[in-house]
Amino acid sequence: MTFNLVAIVYPKEGKLERIKELGKEIAAWVEANEPSTLQYHWSTSKEDDKPVIVIQEIYADEAAFNAHKDSPKFGWLIETAQKEDLFAAPIKILFLEPFTGFAGRN
C-alpha cells in the first residue's frame, strides 16, 4: 500500500520565489535519487489571500517516506529554509488515507 501525504508550506512575504527555486532543486534530486518516491509535485495556491506551496507526495511505502525525510537533500532544504528565514509558519503535513478514486488513465 502506498504512503500518501500533502505538505503545506507558508512562505514569508517576499520569499515565495526563493522557496520555488529550492523546490525545483529538491524535486530534481528526488526524481534522480529516490525511485520509491512515486509522486513529488509542488504547486502554488492561496490561503487567506496569502501564497502557500502545496506539495503532493506519494511513496511506495512508509520506508520510502522515511528514506526521503532522512535524506541529506531534505536536511539541506530544511536547513537552508531556516538559515534564510523563509517560512512564516511551520510546515503543515496531512497524512492521507485514500479510499476511492483514480490517479490517471492509460
pLDDT digits (tens, 9 = 90+) for 62-103: 999 999 999 999 999 999 999 999 999 999 999 999 999 987
Residue 46 half-sphere exposure toward CB, CA atoms < 13 A: 3
- Torsions phi, psi for 48 (to 5 deg): 55, 40
Assign 1 a pLDDT band (cuts: 50, 70, 90): confident
Q: Is the pLDDT of residue 60 over 80?
A: yes
Model confidence, pTM: 0.93
In angstroms, rounded to a whole number, what is the distance separating the alpha carbons of residues 39 and 57?
5
Average pLDDT, the chain: 96
Question: Is 82 in a helix, a strand, or coil?
Answer: helix
What's the rounded mean pLDDT across residues 17-24?
98
In angstroms, rounded to a whole number, what is the distance separating the alpha carbons of residues 102 and 87?
33
- Torsions phi, psi for 2 (to 5 deg): -75, 160
In angstroms, rounded to a whole number, what is the distance separating the alpha carbons of residues 57 and 47?
20
Residue in the block written with cell 541529506: 72
